Amino acid sequence: MEILSIVAIALLIAGFVLLGIEMVVPGFSLPGISGIICLVAGVLLAADSVEEGIIITLIVLALLGIMFAVLLWLLSKGKLKSPIILKEEQKTDQGYISSKDLEYLLGKEGTAATDLRPSGMGDFDGVVLDVLSEGTYIDKGTPLIIHKVQGSKLIVREKK
């Protein structure tokens, strides 16, 4: 074997390995760019003619497709650890507030801190919250009552 053939095969193998790394660790970064350069250089060194280069390129693309399908199957079955899936849950003491936690505000009375058109701010015992009226305009200073919680939205109406 010629030295160019050995270099071409080494470049093709390095290209497949680098693109495999890029498929598992997402982002178009150093392994992906290096892998593409290695594959192109390997095809250029291995091909003696344009027709042979096209055939080698088609073979490389087919092998990349098979490699992608196998990696995707391994990731979906949990046989490989995916770096893009969060395994830990966020703790409530780290700033996350569940929408279920807002249910305790039902019936709370306060005043409109801003005009509600229909959204604005309401002051409830010194705590200013984002609120939403039922579609009506409410003036600043108007007494309010929280009568509905929809997810993280606090729906208010005028207190009568």
pTM over 0.85: no
What CA–CA distance (Å, rounded) separates 100 from 145?
18
Q: Give residue 143's pLDDT.
A: 93
CB 15 within 8 A of CB 35: yes
Which parts of the chain fold into alpha helices (H)? 3-24, 30-46, 50-76
84-136 pLDDT, tens digit each: 555 565 554 555 555 557 888 888 999 999 999 889 999 998 888 999 998 78
24-74 pLDDT, tens digit each: 776 768 888 898 899 999 999 888 888 988 998 999 999 999 988 988 888
Q: Compute the chain's Rg from CA coordinates.
A: 30
Percent of the chain topping pLDDT 90: 29
Write down the mean pLDDT value for the chain: 83
CB 42 within 8 A of CB 64: no
For residue 58, give both structure tokens: 């088609």
Q: Give residue 145's pLDDT.
A: 92
Given a cut of 80, whether residue 137 has pLDDT beyond it is yes
Dihedral (CA of 110, 114, 115, 119) sign = negative
Nearest to 60 by CA among 20, 30, 16: 16
